[in-house]
Amino acid sequence: MNASDVVALALLAVTVGITAGAFQTLPEKVPVHWNAEGRIDGWADKSFLWITPILSAGMLGLFRIVPKIAVKKEAFEKSKKYYNVMVLAVLGFLLLLQAGLLATAANPETDIGIVLYPGVAFMFLAMGWSTAKFEPNYFVGFRTPWALADKRVWKKTQAYGGKTMMLLSIMVLANVFVNNFFLFFLAPLVLWAFSVFVYSYTVYKRLRR
């Protein structure tokens, strides 16, 4: 067990721990969904809050299985450090998400965006940095058809997608102050994803001339 495994298990343990510690003190019905303006529009039984720890455990298990079943195992060996960063980024985000859900369960007046948007921004930043350096594979990265067909296109696509993903994290973080889900989250996210595909295709066509 390496240091990354220890940190991953610690993040999972904290996610489970804070849920168990707060569970008995929470009301029977808790907020579980918010509209684009950040207002609560969905409630559920407090047992719903166990979904995040279960999801965290499932994601950790999946993350550990993927390198073992991957066709291109050498890609994961060469990119192990960056893959571990992705794992910790996702588990860290789920921990922050759960902290926000528990806070709003205890006090529905709490603005979950204060936790949610920094959490998403942190995850995007970490995943953008690590993805930009990942070796070609079928599980991780910006796996466009053109990137998978040509290693040169893969390298350029990951670099573009990773760097722009880090820039996207800044816009997501701005939501803490402006709270505009559409303009500072949804629209930029869709445009960014589309731009990665367009860029990858453009690079492929240029290199194949």
List Cβ<8 Å contacts ≥24 apart for 11-17: 11/56, 11/88, 11/91, 11/92, 11/94, 11/95, 12/53, 12/56, 12/57, 12/60, 12/91, 14/95, 15/52, 15/53, 15/56, 15/91, 15/94, 15/95, 15/98, 16/53, 16/56, 16/57
Domain range list for the chain:
3-207
pLDDT of residue 208: 86
Q: What is the pTM of this model?
A: 0.92
Phi-psi region of 35 (alpha: psi -120 to 50; beta: other; left: phi over 0): beta
The overall average pLDDT reported for the chain is 94
What pLDDT is stored for residue 179 in this prediction?
84
% of residues, the chain, pLDDT over 70: 100
Whether the pLDDT of residue 94 is over 90: the answer is yes
The model's pLDDT over 44-91, given as tens digits with 9 standing for 90+, comes to 999 999 999 999 999 999 999 999 999 989 999 999 999 999 999 999
Span 130-158, mean pLDDT? Answer: 95
pLDDT of residue 1: 76
pLDDT at 166 exceeding the cut of 80: yes
pLDDT value at 196 more than 80: yes
